[in-house]
Amino acid sequence: MPVSFSDGKDTANSANINWKQYFTDPNLVELIDVALKNNLDLSIALQKMEASKAYVRSSKGALFPSVNANANYLGRRFGYYTMDDAGNRTTEIEPGKIIPTYLPDYYMGLQASWEIDLWGKLRNKKRAALARYLSSVEGKNLVITNLIAEIANAYYELLALDNELDIIRESIKIQQSAFDLVSVQKEAGVANELEVKQFEAQLNSSKALEYETLQNITEVENQINFLLNRYPQTIKREKTDFSKPLSIVPNTGIPSDLLKNRPDLRQAEYELIASKADVKAAKAAFYPNLNITGMLGLQGYKAVLLPQSLAYTAAGGLIAPLLNRNAIKAEFKSANAAQQEALFNYQKVILNGYIEVYNELAKIRNLEKIQEYKSNQVTSLTQAIDASSVLFKTGRANYIEVLLAQQNSLNSKIELISVKQLQYSALVNIYKALGGGWK
């Protein structure tokens, strides 16, 4: 990984800033707060984390003996002319009493089994489970980071649409005045029907654009409402002037900071750790298992005799795989392949993280220049509208020049707003790319 994102080294890192300080709009902060409490994707991630935590407890429990309480009754009738019957006819169960044909058996006690982890199979399974739990924690953090960025981007898109709507409505007023003027000129015989219809068509096009923008506003509002897990309602926001220049360059820190700040990198790292533990556990499956079993309890053919009938067993043995070694080999190869996959994914995520930051930094710098030139373009085209209107009234410009000036001005103003929105989006995305938002 390179030592910096640019020629110089920036030791400060905006990812370490709490999102409530990074985003200063109180309405946006309120929206994010609600989302962090109610978002469904985040709730799902939290449940996955709880499931992983339970699996860690389960894998820890496998290292200890299993002890079960047991109480049962067994009744058995021996058939005539069988080996058991022949023996029972000559054996006394009590002095002067042979074993009856039907013999009950009462038992209550404890049974235990324990797999001794000689080769580390169970310990490595526990390590893998713990790593996957930590991976699920980072998965939750990743959901938080993405959620904050998604809400912020949608919010700034909403502000941009509000500004677009204002510009469109302002243009409609200008176009309406031009249409009224050319209509009067037609009545006076100065203009013709073609000119009137052209101005009218442009006016209707702008009115249609107004309602397209209103629809876009509705959809973006409901996109935010969905992220907040609530039904459609108006998103609270203040008017923001998108004509003012935006010049903010966040602190990026050094690339190695990504390894500790980005949840997706940490998630991939824990998955790699888990896959390594899986390989060790799969390798241990080739070796014999040492199992110890035991029973301690009371057992007798009469319930009243149980207190006097202590019984116990203890056994231990090694079990080595023979015929199923091919299956174990397949599991081992699968675990190795999964480890390589996790390694390649880790490398890919690191590379992607660096490129994301690099791209957003370049975008911030380039958008600053684009904004400057677009602002100059808007100024020139706004002046062109005034000039064309004066010339048209005095007969020194035709209606096409007026229409073109109005349309170009409208388009340039909308483009400038889009540039401003992209600038806000770049600031959101670089915060996300640096790993900000989840702390």
Show the tokens assigned to 175.
Answer: 């176009």
| More confident position, 305 or 147 | 147
Residue 239's closest CA among 408, 9, 430, 25?
25
Q: Is 91's pLDDT higher than 70?
A: no
At position 259, the amino acid (one-letter code) is L
CATH classification at residue 128? 1.20.1600.10
What is the model's pLDDT at position 131?
96
SS3 label, residue 39: coil
Residues 108 and 124 in one domain: no
Residue 176 shares a structural domain with residue 78:
no
295 and 255 in a single domain? The answer is no
Residue 307 predicted with pLDDT over 70: no
For the stretch 365-416, pLDDT in tens is: 899 999 999 999 999 999 999 899 888 888 788 888 888 998 999 999 999 9
Domain boundary among 300, 320, 340: 320
Residue 231: HSE in the Cβ half-sphere, 13 Å Cα cutoff: 0
Residues 269 and 352 in one domain: yes
Predicted local distance difference test score (pLDDT) of residue 303? 63
Alpha carbon of residue 405 to chain centroid: 47
pLDDT at 306: 60
Write phi, then psi, for 248 (nearest 5 degrees).
-135, 125
pLDDT > 70: percent of the chain: 90
What amino acid occupies position 321?
Answer: P
Question: How far is it, in rounded angstroms, from Cα 19 to Cα 435?
Answer: 11
pLDDT given at position 223:
97
Report whether 306 contacts 239 (CB < 8 A): no
Domain identity same for 253 and 206: yes
| Count of domains for the chain | 2
Which amino acid does the sequence have at 386? D
Neighbouring C-beta atoms of residue 15, cutoff 10 Å: 26
Give the pLDDT of residue 40: 93
**How many Cα atoms are found within 13 Å in the side-chain-facing hemisphere of 300?**
12
Give mean pLDDT, residues 76-86.
67
The neighbour count for residue 426, using CB atoms within 10 Å, is 24
Per-residue 3-state assignment (H helix, E strand, C coil) for 382-413: HHHHHHHHHHHHCCCCCHHHHHHHHHHHHHHH
Q: Do 97 and 112 fall into the same domain? A: yes
* Number of neighbouring beta carbons within 10 Å of residue 163: 21
Rg of the Cα trace of the chain?
A: 39
What is the pLDDT confidence band of residue 202, given thresholds at 50, 70 and 90?
A: very high
Does residue 9 belong to any structural domain of this protein?
A: no
Q: For residues 105 and 10, is the Cβ–Cβ distance under 8 A?
A: no
Residues 228, 127 share a domain:
yes
Q: Is residue 85 part of a domain?
A: yes
Which CATH number characterizes residue 296's domain? 2.20.200.10
Which residues lie closer than 8 Å to 424 by C-beta, 6 or more apart? 152, 153, 156, 159, 160, 246
User: Are 226 and 196 within one domain?
Assistant: yes
Residue 237 lies in a domain: yes
Give residue 342's pLDDT: 97
Closest CA to 201 of 185, 178, 169, 167: 178
Helix (H, G, I), strand (E, B) or coil at 77: strand
- Lowest-pLDDT range of 135-144, 196-205, 307-316, 418-427: 307-316
What is the band of 30 on the pLDDT scale with cuts at 50, 70, 90? Answer: very high
What pLDDT digit, counting tens, does each position of 258-288 carry? 788 899 999 999 999 999 999 999 999 998 8
CB atoms within 10 A of CB 1: 11
pLDDT in tens, 162-198: 999 999 999 999 999 999 999 998 998 888 999 899 9
Using CA atoms of 193, 197, 199, 205 in order, give the dihedral in degrees to the nearest 10.
180
Region of 120 (left: φ > 0; alpha: ψ -120 to 50; beta: rest) is left
For residues 346 and 225, state if they share a domain.
yes
**Angle made by CA atoms 398, 403, 404, in degrees to the nearest 5:** 100
CA distance 207 to 219: 19
Report the DSSP pairing between strands 66-77 and 310-319.
unpaired
Residue 408 lies in a domain: yes
Host domain of residue 243: 14-63+118-286+327-433
Clarify whether residues 193 and 238 are in a common domain. yes
**Backbone region of residue 81 per phi and psi (left: phi > 0; alpha: psi in -120 to 50; beta: other values):** left
Q: Residue 399 — φ and ψ, nearest 5°?
A: -65, -30
Nearest Cα residue to 428 out of 349, 348, 364: 364
Query: According to the model, what pLDDT value does residue 149 have?
Result: 96
Q: Which of 2-6, 177-181, 336-340 has the highest mean pLDDT?
A: 336-340
